[in-house]
Chain A
Amino acid sequence: MATVAVPHTGYQRPAVLDWITTVDHKKLGILYLYFTLFFFAVGGILALLVRTQLAVADSGFVGNDAYNQIFTMHASAMLFLFIIPVWAGFGNYFVPLQIGAADMAFPRINALSFWLLPPAGILMFAGFVVDGGAADAGWTAYSPLAQQTGVGMDMWILAVILLGASSTIGAANFLVTMLRMRAPGMTMFRMPIFCWTMLVTALLQLLATPVLAAALVMLFIDRNFGGQFFDPNGGGNVVLWQNVFWFYSHPAVYIMILPGMGIVSEVLPVFSRKPLFGYKAFVFATIGIGGLGFSVWAHHMFTTGSVLLPFFGFMTFMIGVPTGVKIFNWLGTLWGGSISFPTPMLFALGFVSMFLIGGINGTFSAAVPVDFALHDTYFVVAHIHYVLFGGSVFAVFAGLYYWFPKIWGRKLNERLGKLHFALMFAGFNLAFFPMHMLGLDGMPRRIAVYAESTGWGALNLVSTLGAFVIAVSMIPFLIAVIWAFTRPQDQPADPWEGNTLEWATSSPPPVHNFDSLPPVRSERPLFDARHGDGAH
């Protein structure tokens, strides 16, 4: 009998080379998480500089020029280098696991999506060392102001184009993965809710991000080659930039929050020991938010005098409906449950309560005549932070504490986690609630200094104090992470009594993800396996 000897080389690539060349969705997911959490820290340090500058009236801490760079880069880091790609990180790791696939549909493209991020991050932040400094026209880069600044602005534009390319091809990859690679038995309406939110997010990215890329290319041409797209003296239109920018950037707000809603909608049912209340309503509400998200962009422009106010006011109110549906989904999930409170659940509940405020204070600006007063004041700064910090960041930590045992095979310490939550929750409200009052009292956003006579000093000091409490809350988190890594990988496949397929494989999962899959007969295959289909 002829045999072919297949030599087992036993060759192992060096770890660094392995991480750089990997196409394993789990390793890429971990790289995404490391990268984005690094920029969360960078953006956080910039936020502390902003808050220190504003702590007292007539402050000269960083100066006007540096201040404009710092708050611009704070927003750019948090939005483009943290929140948007952090969902790609969670999605990379968990979408294939949750649908019972072995990897993403296009593993090499997946690696490309990630490896576009580091050069973009470096390019954007290298602005700080070039002549004229980093981009300083705000993350909104309104023209013609964005035409005036130095080469750091060009670097910012190119970086955002790279990041957009990353998220566009990443979105295509997620869509194909979820549409084509689900496990046998997993119909669309049995897909885990986190996957649904990633699917709608991917659709938004695919449709909206190219518009941003086009706008940025026009801005780049305007700046460097006399394009005059946005220059009224050359027949261009100043307001055009705002229209194309917000056509992307409003849907982008949903890109930044929908996957967070997905994580919370995984965590709440597990720790309430009940299914998500109104699964289909939640899916349709997510699709509704995605669809309506494309028709509300001009509510960022109510004070330009060039907006069809009734239409955009109406659509903006309407987007409150699917958002309200989700609040009911979460309340209904808790109602009648058997609720326990480990750290991921605390962060999920923090999300629900803070996002509730972020939803409600948004309706003020939907009422057009009210927005005339509130637009571009600290009220709006409060609103976006209740949505993107009280919402998205709390969801990021809910996800980290929830999935940490799956990714690394170790649990984060519960006491440290609870301390982290308590400090972050208190610090967050201390930092951002006073901004409502500051906004009502007429404090515009993006000002580097304010006069003593305004009387804004006291509330600003409270807000700054809150920002530092948030920073301190990261200490127990970091200790918990470092401590966890000194311990053995002792976590079972399913430490939380989870519902979805990622808990059907070992922690951490093998390279090929699953040795076998349980049957999928509902959106909770592991619950069915534990309790029998009859319990459903």
Chain B
Amino acid sequence: MKRLAAAVALMALALLGAGCQPAAITDEARDMNDLYNVVLIAAIVVFALVAAALVYAIVRYRRRDDALPPQFHGGGKIEAAMVGVPVLIVIGLFTISMITLVGVDDTAEPDDLTIEVTGFQFSWQFTYNLNDLGEGGGGMDAEAEGAVSVIGTPANEPVLMMPVDEPVEFVLRSSDVIHSFYVRDFLYKLDLFPGRVNAFTVTARETGDFRAQCAELCGLNHALMRFTVRVVERGEFDAWIASEAVRQLGDGARVRAR
């Protein structure tokens, strides 16, 4: 019995270790990761209890003689418990899921930075409208016109630049089939549809490069529809926008680096 308990405890610890999610880098992801950890602990506890009961029953009640064991069919109280316990567990989990869902379902303010994401077979286009660059206008004139775009190919994976510590809205569209915008360290994905617009908002809290890729089967080179999310300080982001604006729009654009 002791050995069984020790084995189950060891397995539970191993599961807990193996079951962690990658580092969450946005406010929203951190909330969702907290929820994940609650579900993980509940799952391991339920698994450990049921598995221990199963192993115990198999060892304890193996056939030793031909005597017929008591023919027990069940009873009202224990069957009520069979329903009651799972009901309590799932209502508890549902409630905290909904609390988390409401918390992470942010909507962008009009003056937040917006990045327009268009998925296509088989890469991504990230577009920054110069009059929608969020905090401080990205170092752009308030009347700046035009947009800066990054277009990738399967061989030349695009980089999505975004600033840290401020809400960023992603507006998702597809030009052909369904894709899914999936950044592992956002712990989040949202599908892109032809003929419909989806959007979500996150606030990143860590700088660095984070790998990302399409998560919805979209055809031949679905696996190559990869990109990198590069979270940088605001100043670096502004400098990048300014240089891209000059490079892409040339002198004709009304761009003025402050």
Binary flags per residue of A216-257, CB closer than 8 Å to B gives 1, else 0: 000000000000000011000011000000000000000000
Q: Does A482 contact B (CB under 8 A)?
A: no
| Docked-complex contact A327 and B50, CB < 8 angstroms | yes
| Docked-complex contact B104 and A447, CB < 8 angstroms | no
- Interface of chain A residues 112 through 149 with chain B (CB within 8 A): 137-138, 142, 144-145, 148
A372 to B21, CA, bound (A): 13
Residues of A contacting B: mostly:
helix
List of A residues within 8 angstroms of B63 by Cβ:
273, 338-340
Q: Interface-forming stretch among B161-169, B175-183, B235-243?
A: B175-183
A1 to B42, CA, bound (A): 84
| Docked-complex contact A313 and B98, CB < 8 angstroms | yes
Q: Does B256 contact A (CB under 8 A)?
A: no
Known: A274-B71, A367-B35. Is A444-B79 also a contact (CB below 8 A)? no
Q: Interface-forming stretch among B51-59, B106-114, B129-137, B140-148?
A: B51-59
| Docked-complex contact B104 and A303, CB < 8 angstroms | no
One of A328, A444, A454 near B182 (C-beta < 8 A): A444
**Chain A interface, number of residues (Cβ within 8 angstroms):** 86
| Docked-complex contact B22 and A535, CB < 8 angstroms | no
One of B51, B62, B86 near A353 (C-beta < 8 A): B51
The closest CB in chain B to the CB of A527 belongs to B71
A369 to B213, CA, bound (A): 19
| Docked-complex contact A320 and B90, CB < 8 angstroms | yes
Classify chain B: how many residues form its interface, as a range.
Answer: 35 or more
B39, B42, B96 pick with most chain A CB within 10 angstroms: B39
Known: A277-B74, A325-B82, A325-B86. Is A372-B51 also a contact (CB below 8 A)? no
Q: Interface-forming stretch among A29-37, A198-206, A434-442?
A: A434-442
| Docked-complex contact B215 and A375, CB < 8 angstroms | yes
List of B residues within 8 angstroms of A332 by Cβ:
72, 74, 78
List of B residues within 8 angstroms of A335 by Cβ:
57, 61
List of A residues within 8 angstroms of B69 by Cβ:
272-274, 336-338
Distance to closest chain B CB from A147 (angstroms): 8
| Docked-complex contact B50 and A356, CB < 8 angstroms | yes
List of A residues within 8 angstroms of B22 by Cβ:
440-442
One of B18, B21, B176, B214 near A373 (C-beta < 8 A): B21
A466 to B94, CA, bound (A): 35
Known: A334-B61, A340-B63. Is A367-B97 also a contact (CB below 8 A)? yes
| Docked-complex contact B211 and A142, CB < 8 angstroms | no
Binary flags per residue of B209-251, CB closer than 8 Å to A gives 1, else 0: 0010111111111111010000000000000000000000000
Chain A to chain B contacts (Cβ below 8 Å), 20 pairs: A65-B220, A144-B176, A145-B218, A232-B195, A238-B194, A238-B196, A272-B61, A274-B70, A277-B72, A281-B74, A331-B50, A337-B57, A338-B62, A339-B58, A353-B54, A363-B93, A441-B184, A442-B211, A444-B215, A454-B211
- Additional pairs, 10, CB under 8 Å, beyond known A304-B198, A369-B100: A137-B217, A144-B194, A145-B219, A232-B195, A274-B71, A279-B74, A303-B180, A314-B94, A370-B35, A442-B184
The 3 tightest CB contacts between A and B, nearest first, are A232-B195, A442-B184, A324-B86
